[in-house]
Structure 1
Amino acid sequence: MSKQDAQAIVDALGGPGNITNLTHCATRLRFELADASGVDKDTVESIPVVLGGVPQGGNRYQVVIGGGVQDVYNDIMALPGMGAGDTRTADDIKAAARAQGPRGNNAWLDSLFEYLSDSFRPILGALLGASLFITFMSLMATLKVIPAWNDPTAPPLSPTWTFVNLCWQCVLVFLPLMIAYNASKKVGADPWVGFAIMAVLMLPGFTGMMDKATDHKVFGFDVHTITAFGLPLTINDYSSQVFPPLLMAAVLGVLYKYLKKIIPENVHLVFVPFLAMLIMIPLTAFLIGPIGVYAGAGLGDLLKTINDFSPFIFAIVIPLAYPFMVPLGLHWPINAIMLLNIQTLGYDFIQGPMGAWNFACFGATAGVLLLSWRQRDRQMRQTATGALAAGLLGGISEPSLYGIHLRFRRIYPRMLIGCFVGGLIIGIGGGVKTHAFVFTSLLTIPAFDNMFLYMFAVLAAFFTAMILVVLSGFRTPEEQAAFEAERDATEAAEAADQAAATGATVALEDSVDPDYVSHGGGAAGGAATAVATAGAATALAERDSAGAAAPADHQTPVRGPATEIGSPLDGVVMPLESTPDPAFAGGKMGGGVAIDPTGNTVYAPANATVVAAQPTGHAFGLVLDGGIELLIHIGIDTVQMGGDGFDVHVEAGQKVKAGTPLVTFDRAKIEKAGYSVVTPVVVMNTKKFLSVTPVFQGPAPAGTPIIAVESKPFTPKD
């Protein structure tokens, strides 16, 4: 990550003045913007460090970064106008956010999922660390190094292993306190007040009152109550609970705002926390806490009933549902139920099938990574590498999901097949359980029971999705053609810069291939010779003439030389806008012309270095002597033909003379396959020149001047 990337992200979102608030989660930057209508998703995703851009409801926008999100956040906040350099007060930021108005019809749903996400997000690292401790303990138990640590009938652990076991219990036992802190902070209350309120219910003195409690059965639940203040007080073990702190913080946020309104500002520090605790501690102990416990237990029982009815159906439905739940944030309540299952049942039955989804997701990413290596897609290779590492080692799916899968619609159907295969294997095997909450990664496989069934299922899901993506590709034919054209242009530009740096030249006297001069007859041959030499001879003549006319001080800018490029094949020259491809027709690849071929051979239009020669024969990148970068793309979407109908005569890195045959193609095969033969010829480094102008339209033999390239003005030096 560089400061340039941080600045590019801010610029793509409209600058610091358009950013009203910025937070981050485990993998994403979460922006609130004054106006999101001008944000271009392609621009955001073109930044090297960005895995994906995700527009949200209203004026919110998420930028997916991956595991390095904290560093990116810090770099952005260090920019002028952001963080320490931001002159706006907190009230200014809130006022700007309120001024945006409603965030859409589903704003309440967006806010709910954001509340859940931000309550869990800061502790994901601690949960991930705890899950690896759990996995280590499970592996030791499997290898018979220690007794089964999760079996109450097994012999007790030694003091050494008891201490190791405490390394993960510290996270899960005190999870309600962590969530209370985060959730309270999210709703604008003092997070330490929320922490303190939840801590009352976890004090040994509170849970110790269970010895004096009376047991009841309410709606099938075991309820333990004592009488306090003349009211029944329910005593529960709140360790590892997540619903009570979430409900408590939601109520605390509303109360806190009300207290700040009615209490004078100069005594806020004393009376707002005191009154909040005075009201919320008994309210949480008598009402909110029990509601949270039983609401969570009810949801858990519902899922358990479904699983008990048919583990086979449950194991298939969960991995097929998760790809649609995660983008919406619906997985957070399910994570809470997993934690509750472990606390109440001693095991969880959801994480196993969920692992099938995760590994299918990672397998699809692996398929994209393999294709990006094969297709020389550097940006996607970087994205997929980071996403795959986060998935296989950390069990985190968001970088894959937002950075890749939601951007390319061909991936989801293949990934779902992987989900189905993994879930089917788990269902046939009778289901998989785990006795602790873990992230479903390669490192946590030993934590599952039955481990070998789970391992077979997730690997099957992984390789099924990967193979299907590799076989079918992750881009549509149109997306693939646009990508290859852009990639070829980039590679040609880089090769041109390298050639210029090394001073590579070709002698002018060896400029013309005799076969090219004679192949089209006298007129065509003469035109070819003229075009081949124009780039050097005309440039020198115009430079000398301009230099003679310049004042003695040599400070007046002189008009640059012009170079004409000849047609690389026989055909009808048309405006570039006639190309049946938006990337070319819109000039995104550079200025130039389109040619409807009448011949079947493409020639080098001048002395050049071949910097890109596709084995499929459909496209060639040339750097002409003098630095012009030329792309010749035979037909549209013809890459899909896989080279059928193309006979390539040159290879990348080869130096060619004007008239050297580059490729011979079969027009009839191309048209029979349903593709256009219109051939764009574009100057890829158009921006480096003053102008790139078509100079001819209509039927023309190879060698006819079709494009004039004029250099930018320069200032002669002494």
Structure 2
Amino acid sequence: MSKDIQSSAAKILEGIGGVGNIKFLTCCATRLRFELNDNSIVDKAALDAIPEVMGCVPQSGERYQIVVGGGVATMHSALQQLIENSKASGGADNTKTETKAASNDDVKASLRSSGVRGKVAWVDGFFEYLSDSFRPILGILLGASLIIALCAVLDALHIVDFRGEKSAGWVFVDAMWHSVFYFLPIMVAYNASKKLKVDPWLGAAIMGALMTPDFQKLTSLASTTSIKDATLGTVSHVAHVFGLPMQLNDYSGNVFVPLIMVAVLALVYRFLKKIIPDNLHMVFVPFLSLIIMIPLTAFLIGPLGVWIGTYLGLGLAWLNTHAPFVFAILIPLLYPFLVPLGLHWPLNALMLMNIQTLGYDFIQGPMGVWNFACFGATAGVLLISLREKDATMRQTASGALAAGLFGGISEPSLYGIHLRFKKVYPRLLAGCLAGGVTLAVLSSMYGSVKTQAFAFTSLLTIPVFHPMWIYAVSIAVAFVVPMVLIVLFDYRTAEEKAEHKE
């Protein structure tokens, strides 16, 4: 860990009010999340002056968020180390609540009990389950999407023909990104199990059983029957296992099945731990979990998950086919409200499901319009900060813009800038509308903008979208409109501007 990170972590700790002011500390994809004893003693100006800090977001209920972008895990580790060192040396004020680095579950449970979060616990829990099942693998999904983008560029420039016969070298390159999406169900099962406090390797093993060569071999047995679905144009296989019919599916890339399976596994796992003596847990809890859950998943949960994902995707595909103009505008206008609430995760799951069932996805194109409208608003803020020689906002906006344009990550912009100033969202929504209308008009003769990859919508992944020129023009419009509106009409009210100057 670099000295700069350690120094910045120490400054954050000092700015937040010291170790004794922290009840809980955790982090998400881009933010440090604190629950404090006293929000009023936080030195926001000092925090904003720290180079790694992209923004500070005071919240109700003594909560406080500090946006640090992609380096959040390293900063979180540095803070934990400082907190532990302080506790070991007796430096913390022992009269205050004991400081601890809490899990996301600890923080959310505390906030819900105090009435800060939604009062319907199961709704909160559902979206937290979805987000925590995907968040740890966002990095590898981003890495895989950039490999796909590189291949798309080579194909577009006719350097390598990825649609024809490929050499062994390029087949190997395909394996580099395909591995991530093929084994995605196992990764999701691992994360989901961890979220529900089940042995994560158990969840991974159950999902992996349905992806082994032995399971796939069932499709070629003489006793297996094949059924053609006239609606979907697909062929399904039904094996007869011990006299019982089992629908065989390709579970690679599927995310609904592991999410449903782990939810059921959690109930089974807790029941087994309750009825089996503690000294026998290590052997018989995993043994019985496997014996129960693998058949249950293969016969019931797997086909159910595939059915749910397929028909949700087909429903959106129907809307995209019969009302493409509405669809192309609706998605960009919904995302600015879904992302801050964490409600966009079901759509991410549908994108992955579309690629697995249809071979392509049509949601990411309109989603890219929202992302670039978000980045355009940030660019407008950056230009104003340069004009006003505002070093603090320049630093925040430049970091957020870089994370967006090259990583497709909107959180630094969203939490560091957009949700802090009242005039940003109207300009942002204007960009979403303009980009959505552009996409709808230009793609009307093509049906929609599609991609065969799950890609973070950044400058680097533009080549994975087809038709590429329509997508590029649409996101350019979405980017320029809010940027120009903010440069011309500012992003702050008169009160916010005066407060910001102070």
Normalising by the smaller structure, the TM-score range is 0.7 to 0.9
What whole-Å deviation, never above 9, does each CA across 1:230-288 have from its counterpart, x for those lacking one?
A: 33212110001111111122222333333333333233222222222222212221222
| Paired AA for residue 142 in structure 1 | A
Structure 1 CA distance, aligned partners of 2:341 and 2:489?
Answer: 27
Residue 285 of structure 1 corresponds to: 298
Q: Is 1:102 aligned to residue 119 of structure 2? A: no
Q: Is 1:482 aligned to residue 496 of structure 2? A: no
Give 3-state SS (helix, strand or coil) of 1:480's partner: helix
Deviates more, 1:264-273 or 1:76-85: 76-85
Structure 2 CA distance, aligned partners of 1:281 and 1:182?
Answer: 18
What whole-Å deviation, never above 9, does each CA across 1:662-683 have from its counterpart, x for those lacking one?
A: xxxxxxxxxxxxxxxxxxxxxx
Residue 254 of structure 2 corresponds to: 241
Structure 2 CA distance, aligned partners of 1:466 and 1:472?
Answer: 10
What whole-Å deviation, never above 9, does each CA across 1:166-210 have from its counterpart, x for those lacking one?
A: 111011111111111111111111111111111001112112212
Structure 1 CA distance, aligned partners of 2:268 and 2:20?
Answer: 32
| Paired AA for residue 371 in structure 1 | I
Per the alignment, do residues 166 and 2 of structure 1 end up closer, same or farther by CA in structure 2, a change over 3 Å counting? closer
Give 3-state SS (helix, strand or coil) of 1:227's partner: strand
Q: Is 1:130 aligned to residue 141 of structure 2? A: no
Q: Residue 132 of structure 2 contacts residue 195 of structure 2 at CA under 8 Å; is this kept in 1? A: yes
Q: Is 1:439 aligned to residue 456 of structure 2? A: yes
Residue 521 of structure 1 corresponds to: none
| Paired AA for residue 249 in structure 1 | V
Q: Residue 342 of structure 1 contacts residue 436 of structure 1 at CA under 8 Å; is this kept in 2? A: yes
- Normalized per residue, the structure richer in strand is 1
Structure 2 CA distance, aligned partners of 1:337 and 1:178?
Answer: 17
Give 3-state SS (helix, strand or coil) of 1:438's partner: coil
Give 3-state SS (helix, strand or coil) of 2:280's partner: helix
Per the alignment, do residues 29 and 164 of structure 1 end up closer, same or farther by CA in structure 2, a change over 3 Å counting? same
Give 3-state SS (helix, strand or coil) of 1:79's partner: helix
What whole-Å deviation, never above 9, does each CA across 1:435-477 have from its counterpart, x for those lacking one?
A: 1111110011111111111111111111111111111111111
Per the alignment, do residues 416 and 246 of structure 1 end up closer, same or farther by CA in structure 2, a change over 3 Å counting? same
Residue 327 of structure 2 corresponds to: 314
| Paired AA for residue 73 in structure 1 | H
Structure 2 CA distance, aligned partners of 1:145 and 1:101?
Answer: 55
Which residue, out of 128, 153, 161, partners 1:139? 153
Give 3-state SS (helix, strand or coil) of 2:431's partner: helix
Q: Is 1:453 aligned to residue 470 of structure 2? A: yes
Match runs of 1:23-422 below 5 Å: 23-31=26-34, 33=35, 38-40=38-40, 43=43, 47=47, 48=50, 49-53=52-56, 62-81=65-84, 102=113, 104=115, 105-147=119-161, 149=162, 154-212=163-221, 213-216=224-227, 223-422=236-435
Q: Displacement of 1:118 after TM fit?
A: 1.6
Give 3-state SS (helix, strand or coil) of 1:233's partner: strand
Q: Displacement of 1:70 after TM fit?
A: 1.5
Q: Displacement of 1:215 after TM fit?
A: 3.5
Alignment RMSD: 3.0
Unaligned 5+ segments in structure 1 are 487-718
Structure 2 CA distance, aligned partners of 1:351 and 1:173?
Answer: 20
Q: Displacement of 1:66 after TM fit?
A: 0.6
Structure 2 CA distance, aligned partners of 1:91 and 1:257?
Answer: 23
Per the alignment, do residues 110 and 378 of structure 1 end up closer, same or farther by CA in structure 2, a change over 3 Å counting? farther
Structure 2 CA distance, aligned partners of 1:259 and 1:435?
Answer: 42
Structure 1 CA distance, aligned partners of 2:139 and 2:360?
Answer: 22
Q: Displacement of 1:100 after TM fit?
A: 7.3
Q: Residue 346 of structure 1 contacts residue 435 of structure 1 at CA under 8 Å; is this kept in 2? A: yes
Give 3-state SS (helix, strand or coil) of 1:474's partner: coil
Q: Displacement of 1:17 after TM fit?
A: 5.9
Q: Residue 429 of structure 1 contacts residue 453 of structure 1 at CA under 8 Å; is this kept in 2? A: yes
Q: Residue 44 of structure 1 contacts residue 52 of structure 1 at CA under 8 Å; is this kept in 2? A: no
Per the alignment, do residues 88 and 400 of structure 1 end up closer, same or farther by CA in structure 2, a change over 3 Å counting? closer
Structure 2 CA distance, aligned partners of 1:56 and 1:119?
Answer: 25
Deviates more, 1:69-78 or 1:22-31: 22-31
Residue 495 of structure 1 corresponds to: none
Q: Displacement of 1:108 after TM fit?
A: 2.6
Structure 1 CA distance, aligned partners of 2:125 and 2:483?
Answer: 35
What whole-Å deviation, never above 9, does each CA across 1:501-557 have from its counterpart, x for those lacking one?
A: xxxxxxxxxxxxxxxxxxxxxxxxxxxxxxxxxxxxxxxxxxxxxxxxxxxxxxxxx
Q: Residue 201 of structure 1 contacts residue 238 of structure 1 at CA under 8 Å; is this kept in 2? A: yes
Give 3-state SS (helix, strand or coil) of 2:361's partner: coil
Per the alignment, do residues 179 and 51 of structure 1 end up closer, same or farther by CA in structure 2, a change over 3 Å counting? same
Q: Displacement of 1:94 after TM fit?
A: 8.3
Match runs of 1:494-533 below 5 Å: none
Q: Residue 44 of structure 1 contacts residue 50 of structure 1 at CA under 8 Å; is this kept in 2? A: no
Match runs of 1:525-674 below 5 Å: none
Residue 6 of structure 1 corresponds to: 9
Determine what percentage of the aligned residue pairs are the same residue: 54
Give 3-state SS (helix, strand or coil) of 1:408's partner: coil
Residue 95 of structure 2 corresponds to: none
Structure 2 CA distance, aligned partners of 1:259 and 1:427?
Answer: 53
Per the alignment, do residues 93 and 73 of structure 1 end up closer, same or farther by CA in structure 2, a change over 3 Å counting? closer
What whole-Å deviation, never above 9, does each CA across 1:79-108 have from its counterpart, x for those lacking one?
A: 133799699999999899867773541333
Per the alignment, do residues 187 and 377 of structure 1 end up closer, same or farther by CA in structure 2, a change over 3 Å counting? same
Per the alignment, do residues 295 and 374 of structure 1 end up closer, same or farther by CA in structure 2, a change over 3 Å counting? same
| Paired AA for residue 455 in structure 1 | A
Instruction: Count matched residues.
Output: 477
Q: Is 1:467 aligned to residue 480 of structure 2? A: no
Unaligned 5+ segments in structure 2 are 90-97
Q: Displacement of 1:130 after TM fit?
A: 0.7
Per the alignment, do residues 45 and 129 of structure 1 end up closer, same or farther by CA in structure 2, a change over 3 Å counting? farther
- Normalized per residue, the structure richer in helix is 2
Q: Displacement of 1:341 after TM fit?
A: 0.9
Per the alignment, do residues 263 and 61 of structure 1 end up closer, same or farther by CA in structure 2, a change over 3 Å counting? farther
Q: Residue 315 of structure 1 contacts residue 427 of structure 1 at CA under 8 Å; is this kept in 2? A: yes
- Using CA pairs below 8 Å that are at least 6 residues apart, which structure has the higher relative contact order? 2
Q: Residue 319 of structure 1 contacts residue 354 of structure 1 at CA under 8 Å; is this kept in 2? A: yes
Give 3-state SS (helix, strand or coil) of 1:78's partner: helix
What whole-Å deviation, never above 9, does each CA across 1:462-493 have from its counterpart, x for those lacking one?
A: 11111111111111111112222x2xxxxxxx
Per the alignment, do residues 94 and 452 of structure 1 end up closer, same or farther by CA in structure 2, a change over 3 Å counting? closer
Q: Residue 80 of structure 2 contacts residue 101 of structure 2 at CA under 8 Å; is this kept in 1? A: no
Q: Residue 12 of structure 1 contacts residue 39 of structure 1 at CA under 8 Å; is this kept in 2? A: no
Per the alignment, do residues 424 and 37 of structure 1 end up closer, same or farther by CA in structure 2, a change over 3 Å counting? farther
TM-score for both structures, normalised by structure 1: 0.62
Per the alignment, do residues 317 and 93 of structure 1 end up closer, same or farther by CA in structure 2, a change over 3 Å counting? closer
Q: Residue 320 of structure 2 contacts residue 327 of structure 2 at CA under 8 Å; is this kept in 1? A: yes
| Paired AA for residue 247 in structure 1 | I
What whole-Å deviation, never above 9, does each CA across 1:291-314 have from its counterpart, x for those lacking one?
A: 211111121111111001121111
Structure 2 CA distance, aligned partners of 1:285 and 1:96?
Answer: 36
Q: Displacement of 1:24 after TM fit?
A: 2.8
| Paired AA for residue 406 in structure 2 | L
| Paired AA for residue 170 in structure 2 | W
| Paired AA for residue 325 in structure 2 | F
Structure 1 CA distance, aligned partners of 2:46 and 2:439?
Answer: 40
Structure 2 CA distance, aligned partners of 1:356 and 1:159?
Answer: 37
